[in-house]
Amino acid sequence: MNPVDRSFGVSLALASENVVLTSVKPRTGATEAGVALPALDLPLDHEKANEASACIGHREMLIVERIEAGLPDRSYHNVNDMIAAHGGELVAGWMLEYVPNVLIRAARHAVWRDQDGVLFDVTPVRRPADQTRSTFAPDEETLLDYIASLPVEDRYVVLARDADVRSVAVQYKRNIAAQRKLLARIVADFRYEIRPGGGLQGPSLLENYPDLSQEVDDSYFKMHRYRRRVLQRYFPEEAAALAAMAPSARARKPVPTSGRPSTAGS
């Protein structure tokens, strides 16, 4: 997660280039939150590539060399840093990846076009060593407004006939819908100021918008609960390794902030 403002109860950050709101600290390891499914870059010849293209408006998918010059989950920032140092321009669009036999995901992303017109993905992702090129579909309609950007929903193609996999997508959609409603209210509320690059100044969202804040939190934790089940079912070795990283985390429960300063961090 990117740095967040710690001056109020509900934390705000930029993840996948969207404002993300949660009133409790995201955790890693074997807890309900922070579970990531192992993904690979989507090959253009994948049997469901046409469906993946359709879910983002039939945008052309390209293979882009990844040089990883920045930080994870900050593609817009990383590209702007490259432009400041080397010129070129930002190209907005979608990064396409897949969890084998589980799902395909298209997420808002940006890559760098150098002064010779060559595209590079300068944002690192968790991939095997032989995965050095990103699958990217340009789409200027996803261009990010840092000040008041409503979250752009990831697009999914479900590959597995599995209720838990479908539930991951359902809870994700629920979470994004709640975030969009909450952020729209924040933008219209003079008491709050959204800062470029991540951060929010204002009173506790948990106190002022309790229903939406709780909806964001509930869907967030349920989404990761279903992800954990999927990880255990399809990737048992990864699930075991994740659990071993924090064996005591299973006993911890989320602690709501109730208006206290957030402890969310990177």
DSSP labels, 171-182: HHHHHHHHHHHH
Q: Which residue has the tokens 């897949």?
A: 98
Decide if 218 contacts 177 (C-beta within 8 A).
no
C-alpha 96/C-alpha 57 separation (Å) is 13
The backbone region for 29, taken as left when phi is positive above 0, alpha when psi lies in -120 to 50, beta otherwise, is left
- Cβ–Cβ < 8 Å for 168, 230: yes
CA angle at residue 251 from 249 to 256, to 5 degrees? 85
Bridge partner list, 194: 200
Helices 236-245 and 210-234: angle between axes, nearest 10 degrees: 120
- Residue 63's DSSP bridge partners are 135
pTM over 0.85: no
Residue 66: its H or E element: strand 62-66
pLDDT for 5 equals 28
CB 67 within 8 A of CB 132: no
d(CA 226, CA 22): 18
Q: pLDDT 10s per residue in the chain (266 long)?
A: 232 222 222 333 333 344 444 443 333 333 455 788 999 999 999 999 999 999 999 999 999 999 978 888 889 889 999 999 999 999 999 999 999 999 999 999 999 999 999 999 999 988 887 889 999 999 988 876 554 566 788 999 999 999 999 999 999 999 999 988 998 898 889 998 877 655 778 898 888 999 999 999 999 999 999 999 999 999 999 999 888 876 544 444 443 333 322 222 22
Contact assessment for residue 149 and residue 19, using Cβ atoms and an 8 Å cutoff: yes
At 148 the three-state DSSP class reads coil
136-155: b (≥16 Cβ within 10 Å) or e: bbbbeebebebeebebbbbb
Task: Identify the residue whose tokens are 């609960």.
Answer: 225
Residue-level pLDDT at 114: 96
For 237, phi and psi rounded to 5 degrees?
A: -65, -45
Task: Compute CA distances 252 → 123, 147, 242, 259, whole Å.
Answer: 32, 35, 15, 20
- Per-residue model confidence (pLDDT) at position 198: 59
